[in-house]
Copies of this chain bind each other. A is one copy, B any other.
Amino acid sequence: MENFKILNIKQSVFENNDRDADKLREELKGKGVYLLNLMSSPGAGKTTTLTKTINALKDDFRIGVMEADIDSDVDARTISQTGARVIQLHTGGMCHLDADMTRQGLYGLSTDELDLIFLENVGNLVCPAEFDTGATKNAMILSVPEGDDKPLKYPLMFTICDALLINKIDAAPFFNFDFEACAARAKKLNPNIKIFPVSAKTGEGMEAFYAWLRGEVSQYRAAIGK
């Protein structure tokens, strides 16, 4: 018996996703829940990053996770081992989640007694950038093997994210990745983006990301009087 359920998400009927996303952000404030939308290419390390982050923050906050995938439940299975409340969302072939699909997931997970929810979006640098999920903040992972030119090729993703984790820095000796050039390209698109070079596998650099997220959630909760 698995300790998570699988929900098949329906395609949205709402015409104005941006308005629906703003509405969802307000609903989340009402519930005192901070939602972080985590995006990346396939295999950049979203699930490993989440596993480590949940273990680091689970004494500070009550954490839930929505794992969005076209198919399979391997990520929900992995994340459920942290003890966090988890739901696997199947998007039925859809390449992204919009606000209404995210709301369906939140109902399935239940926001009750949660402070922080992670949405692990579909692995894709294109479409998820185009649809506001209604999350409080957006974060993305770029992994070193993908290359430092990705801000040039997928500019919207870097533009809409509040935080950028550059993951797999432990593998840097194997790849020609120019951290300064990558950071400059990301900052040119988005001067306020917070950049965290990390290895989710070894833990290197992760403390800075935990500290940022701890501050984010604490400030959010203080602002809404929680």
Q: Does A145 contact B (CB under 8 A)?
A: yes
Bound Cα distance from A41 to B123, whole angstroms? 9
Bound Cα distance from A122 to B122, whole angstroms? 16
A34 to chain B, nearest CB (A): 27
Q: Does A124 contact B (CB under 8 A)?
A: yes
At the interface with chain B, which of A20-28, A109-117, A147-155, A215-223?
A147-155
A52 to chain B, nearest CB (A): 16
**A72 x B152 contact (CB < 8 A):** yes
Q: Does A126 contact B (CB under 8 A)?
A: yes
A116 to chain B, nearest CB (A): 24
**A155 x B70 contact (CB < 8 A):** yes
Bound Cα distance from A123 to B142, whole angstroms? 13
Interface string of A189-224 (1 = CB under 8 A from B): 000000000000000000000000000000000000
A43 to B, closest residue via Cβ = B146
Q: Does A107 contact B (CB under 8 A)?
A: no
Q: Report the interface size for chain A: residues with CB under 8 A from the other chain.
A: 35
Q: Does A60 contact B (CB under 8 A)?
A: no
Q: Does A184 contact B (CB under 8 A)?
A: no
In the complex, chain B residues whose CB is within 8 Å of the CB of A147: 43
Bound Cα distance from A143 to B42, whole angstroms? 10
Closest 7 CB pairs of A and B: A43-B146, A145-B145, A95-B126, A72-B152, A41-B41, A43-B147, A41-B42
Chain A residues in the interface with B (C-beta under 8 A): 41-44, 69-72, 74-75, 93, 95, 122-127, 130, 143, 145-147, 149-150, 152-156, 168, 170-171, 174-175
